[in-house]
Amino acid sequence: MATTLSPLAPASFPTLPPIAGVRIATANSGIRYKGRDDLLLAVLDPGTAVAGVLTRSLTCSAPVIWCRDSLPKGSARAVVVNAGNANAFTGKAGDATVQATVSAAAELAGCAPDEVYIASTGVIGIPLAADAIGKCLAPMAPNLKADSAAWEKAARAIMTTDTFPKGSVRTASIGGTTVTIAGFAKGSGMIAPDMATMLGFVFTDAAIAATALQDMLSEFTERTFNAVTVDGDTSTSDTLLLFATGKAGNAPVSSADAAELAEFRAALEDLLLDLALQVVRDGEGATKFIAITVRGADSDAAAKRIGMTVANSPLVKTAIAGEDANWGRIVAAIGRAGERADRDLIKITVGGTLICAEGMEVPGYDETPVTAHMKGKEVDIDIDLGLGKGTAKVWTCDLTHGYIDINGSYRS
């Protein structure tokens, strides 16, 4: 795990209140890390609904396959997450580890196996003993707690190369009843969206049906976790799960479009975006947080594709790392994105300064304010294609030698 705190890190981990119906414990499994907790167990009250989005990687982990098969039931009673070993590309041994973990968690929670959700993150391709995780769960049961301190412990337990734990909390009203949403995530490298990004776990005490949760999560993921990138590498383990215990006392809601969910929808999307942006701010070796707005595209999808092409460009990211206002790299990325663009209509603005328009650098362009903007920790790029009404916003970070240092020695 990285030890130097990201310069883009928030001042502190937020205070997350207990969520009725959720109890959490952490422990050290001994799988990889010494002297720190690397295993999370959450036990949920009966009646908890669940929704999830999972990586679309064709080499996904055994835990992802398990979650994908369990989600249609829409019910959850336990969550088990380990850090240090992804249990991905581990063949039948990986499946055996999942089965043993699920069996142990189901026995502890007193539930059906398909009400247990699991996730793993870490090194790919190293099989675990079947009971490596399962044997640790029963001793954790006496430590299950529903207090504020448990959230930060949980967020820290699932970290790999992260330099800080990531948490967020929001409240909303449903039909006059106040409900709380709290969540945490991990992610630093191997970050490129293809459903969600890395691992995220969100809990609410609201009473909302699993189908409604799924509709909201799938929609909001596209504008949050699916709109960030660190290095263009999609993980085998990406998992984002949303749980609703129903303990707040609101009248149950069965439709994501219900009028009484308007405030909850806004709060949930805001929380997901907060967590996703914290992942970017903890990008491996990152020193700059980059926001890219694309407007005037043929469609929103086209705008997003162009934005992500710019965001994933090593040339753009290294130029920003070096505080070099080389806007030609942005132009090049736009041109190879595979979406319609017209040289003479494109306008590029960095830090509020218009750089190019009408097919060339604007007359009298002064690079000084752009260079000054790039010396800060926050960099804003605005691209107007001048073609249509499509818009998108995506986020990334710069690419520094620190990324190479971390990933060149990840297994050692």
Which amino acid, residue 398?
A: D
Residue 326 known to bind ligand:
no
Give me the catalytic one of 48, 55, 197, 349.
Answer: 197
Closest-CA residue to 210 (of 48, 67, 42): 48
Can you count the helices (H) and strands (E) in the chain?
A: 11, 15
Question: What pLDDT score does 283 carry?
Answer: 87
Residue 396 known to bind ligand:
no
Residue 197 known to bind ligand:
yes
Residue 178 is a catalytic residue: no
Closest-CA residue to 160 (of 122, 127, 200): 122
Question: What pLDDT score does 194 carry?
Answer: 64
CB 320 within 8 A of CB 379: yes
Prediction pTM value? 0.94
Q: Alpha helices, DSSP H only, in 300-367?
A: 300-312, 314-321, 328-335
Question: What pLDDT score does 1 carry?
Answer: 44
Q: How far apart are CA 265 and CA 86, in angstroms?
A: 32
Dihedral sign of CA atoms 108, 211, 245, 146 in order: positive
Strands 199-204 and 239-244: parallel
Q: How far apart are CA 172 and CA 267, in angstroms?
A: 6
Residue 284 known to bind ligand:
yes
Q: How far apart are CA 346 and CA 160, in angstroms?
A: 41
Q: How far apart are CA 39 and CA 37, in angstroms?
A: 6
Work out the number of other CB atoms within 10 angstroms of the CB of residue 334.
21
For residue 267, the SS3 value is: helix
Low-confidence ranges of the chain (pLDDT < 70): 1-3, 190-197, 409-412
Q: How far apart are CA 46 and CA 56, in angstroms?
A: 30
Closest-CA residue to 80 (of 4, 17, 9, 132): 132
Strands 378-384 and 239-244: unpaired
